C-alpha cells in the first residue's frame, strides 16, 4: 500500500547523518532533536503547543485524561474509524457513544452528533478519516452550544488545510496525531503528538505524559510514560520539510485514479468535500454492484495490494458488546463497511506502476460488467 523504501532512498544521506548525530551524542530521550521538532511542528500547524509522545493512541489517551472526566461520562465518536479512536475512551472508563458518518466524505455527521447529546456528554472526538477534514465549523458550533470539548483525531490527516487555511488538528481544543511509519508524516518506528492552543491543557498534558510529574520526583496526578525518542524526532524533522511535497505526490496519484474511475460504472471515487483539501492518506472507493472480494483477489494475483479500511465498525466490535452498541442501527456505517476498498497510494509512484494498476483495474471492471 505504501513504498517507504523508495522514499527513504531519496532522503537517505540527510536521514543517515541525522541519526548518526543522535548516536554520537547519545541523547536518546528528550534531546535537542525532540525540542526542535516540537517547535517546527508548532509553526507548521500554526498551533501554540505541541507535545510529542510515543504514538497516536497515547496522544488520544493523554488528551482525554487531561479533561478531568468522570467514569461513565459520554464521548461521542464515529463508529467508522480505526479502533484506537474508540478504544481509549473505554479504557479510561468513559462511555463511547458511536454515531454515523457522512455517506460521502466518511467523516462524523454533525447532525448525528447533536442527536446523540445527553446530559452526560462531555466531549466529541471527530476523525479526519482517510485524509480529509470532518466538518469542523459545524462540530465546533455544536460543541460551543453544549459546552463540550473537541479532540480531533488527526492521525490520518496531518497537513490537511481547511478552506480558510487553518490546519486540521489545530482547530478543536486538542488535536492528536500519529507518526506510525505508513502515516502521511511517518517516522521509522512509533511516534505521536498532541497539540493545543490552550496553555492550561498543554501543561496538564505535558505532566500526564511524564508520570504526572510537576517537578522532578513530585507527582501530582496519575499519568503515564509516553515519549517521542530523539532518533524518531531527527527523522521527523527531515520528513516534515517534505510533507507538503509528499501530500502533492499523493494528490496527483488520486487525480489519476479519479480520472480513470470516472468512466467505470458502479464505482465511486473518493468524494472531496468543500471545507478542506484532501491529503489522501488512503484512496478509498465505494463499490456498488461489484464483488469486493473478487476485486481484492484479482489484484492480489497481480501483486497489487488492496485493503478494506475497516471491515468491522467499532459499534460491532466484541470489545464494546457490554455497551450494547451493536444494537444501535447505523445503516450508513454498515453500508460503507460492506462496500469500501482502498488502493495503494504513496509518495513514490512511478508511471509504469500506475499504468499497471489502472490496466489491471480496467481488466477487472470491464470483465465484470
Ligand atoms: C493510526 C491511527 C491511530 C493510532 O495511531 P498509533 O500511532 O498507531 O497509535 C489513531 N487513530 C487513527 C484514525 C489512526 O489512523
CA of 4 to the centre of ligand 1 (A): 18
CATH number 3.40.640.10 is the correct assignment for the domain at 4-237:
yes
Mutating to test ligand 1, I would choose from 79, 84, 108, 168 the residue with most ligand atoms within 8 A of its C-beta, which is 84
CA of 242 to the centre of ligand 1 (A): 21
d(CA 290, CA 287): 6
Closest residue to atom 6 of ligand 1, CA basis: 56
d(CA 85, CA 78): 9
326 has a pLDDT exceeding 90: no
- In the block, cell 504514538 appears at 55
Residue 129 CA: nearest ligand 1 atom is 13
CA of 179 to the centre of ligand 1 (A): 8
Residue 60 CA: nearest ligand 1 atom is 10
Ligand 1 site, CB within 6 A: 55-57, 81-82, 84-85, 127, 153, 155-156, 178, 180, 190, 192
Range of weakest confidence among 198-212, 270-284, 316-330: 316-330
Domain boundaries, the chain: 4-237, 243-366
Mutating to test ligand 1, I would choose from 57, 79, 107, 169 the residue with most ligand atoms within 8 A of its C-beta, which is 57
274 has a pLDDT exceeding 90: yes
Tell me: the pLDDT tens digits for 8-30? 999 999 999 999 999 999 999 99
- Under the banding of pLDDT at 50, 70 and 90, the label for residue 327 is confident
**130's grid cell:** 482517510
Tell me: the pLDDT tens digits for 156-167? 999 999 999 999
Looking at CATH, the fold of the domain delimited by 243-366 is given as 3.90.1150
Mutating to test ligand 1, I would choose from 1, 54, 178 the residue with most ligand atoms within 8 A of its C-beta, which is 178
CA of 54 to the centre of ligand 1 (A): 11
CA of 244 to the centre of ligand 1 (A): 20
Mutating to test ligand 1, I would choose from 85, 281, 309, 313 the residue with most ligand atoms within 8 A of its C-beta, which is 85
Average predicted confidence (pLDDT) for the chain: 97
pTM of the predicted structure, to 2 decimals: 0.97
d(CA 117, CA 150): 13
* pLDDT value of position 328: 86
* pLDDT value of position 368: 64
| C-alpha distances out from residue 262 to 87, 258, 269, 294, 365, Å | 37, 6, 8, 21, 12
The secondary structure of the chain in percent helix, strand, coil, rounded to multiples of 5, reads 45, 15, 40
d(CA 145, CA 339): 35
Residue 58 CA: nearest ligand 1 atom is 9
* pLDDT value of position 36: 98
Tell me: the pLDDT tens digits for 230-249? 999 999 999 999 999 999 99
**355's grid cell:** 499504468
Tell me: the pLDDT tens digits for 36-81? 999 999 999 999 999 999 999 999 999 999 999 999 999 999 999 9
CA of 156 to the centre of ligand 1 (A): 7
Residue 180 CA: nearest ligand 1 atom is 7
310 has a pLDDT exceeding 80: yes
Amino acid at each position: 500500500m505504501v513504498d517507504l523504501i523508495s522514499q527513504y532512498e531519496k532522503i537517505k544521506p540527510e536521514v543517515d547523518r541525522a541519526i548518526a548525530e543522535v548516536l554520537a551524542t547519545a541523547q536518546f530521550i528528550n534531546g535537542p532533536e525532540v525540542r526542535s521538532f516540537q517547535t517546527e511542528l508548532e509553526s507548521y500547524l500554526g498551533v501554540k503547543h505541541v507535545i510529542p509522545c510515543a504514538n497516536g493512541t497515547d496522544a488520544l489517551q493523554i488528551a482525554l485524561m487531561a479533561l478531568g472526566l468522570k467514569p461513565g461520562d459520554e464521548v461521542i465518536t464515529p463508529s467508522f474509524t480505526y479502533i484506537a479512536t474508540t478504544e481509549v475512551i473505554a479504557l479510561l472508563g468513559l462511555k463511547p457513544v458511536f454515531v454515523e458518518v457522512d455517506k460521502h466524505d466518511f467523516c462524523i455527521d454533525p447532525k448525528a452528533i447533536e442527536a446523540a447529546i445527553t446530559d452526560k456528554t462531555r466531549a466529541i472526538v471527530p476523525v479526519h478519516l482517510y485524509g480529509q477534514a470532518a466538518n469542523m465549523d459545524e462540530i465546533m458550533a455544536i460543541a460551543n452550544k453544549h459546552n463540550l470539548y473537541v479532540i480531533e483525531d488527526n492521525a490520518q490527516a496531518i497537513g490537511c488545510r481547511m478552506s480558510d487555511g487553518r490546519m486540521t488538528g489545530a482547530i478543536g481544543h486538542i488535536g492528536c496525531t500519529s507518526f506510525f511509519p505508513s502515516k502521511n508524516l511517518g517516522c521509522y518506528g512509533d511516534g505521536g503528538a498532541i497539540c493545543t492552543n490552550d496553555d492550561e491543557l498543554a501543561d496538564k498534558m505535558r505532566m500526564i505524559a511524564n508520570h504526572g510529574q510537576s517537578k522532578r520526583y513530585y507527582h501530582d496526578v496519575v499519568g503515564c510514560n509516553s515519549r517521542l525518542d530523539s532518533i524518531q524526532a531527527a527523522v521527523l524533522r527531515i520528513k516534515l520539510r517534505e510533507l507538503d511535497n509528499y501530500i502533492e505526490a499523493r494528490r496527483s496519484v488520486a487525480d489519476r485514479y479519479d480520472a480513470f474511475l470516472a468512466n467505470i460504472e458502479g464505482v465511486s471515487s473518493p468524494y472531496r468535500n468543500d471545507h478542506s483539501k484532501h491529503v489522501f492518506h488512503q484512496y478509498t472507493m465505494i463499490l456498488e454492484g461489484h464483488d469486493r472480494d473478487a476485486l481484492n483477489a484479482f489484484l492480489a494475483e497481480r501483486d497489487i495490494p488492496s485493503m478494506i479500511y475497516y471491515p468491522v465498525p467499532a459499534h460491532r466490535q466484541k470489545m464494546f458488546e457490554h455497551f450494547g452498541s451493536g444494537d444501535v442501527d447505523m445503516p450508513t456505517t454498515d453500508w460503507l463497511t460492506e462496500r469500501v476498498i482502498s488502493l495503494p497510494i504513496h509518495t513514490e509512484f512511478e508511471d509504469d506502476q500506475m499504468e499497471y494498476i489502472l490496466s489491471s483495474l480496467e481488466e477487472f471492471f470491464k470483465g465484470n460488467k
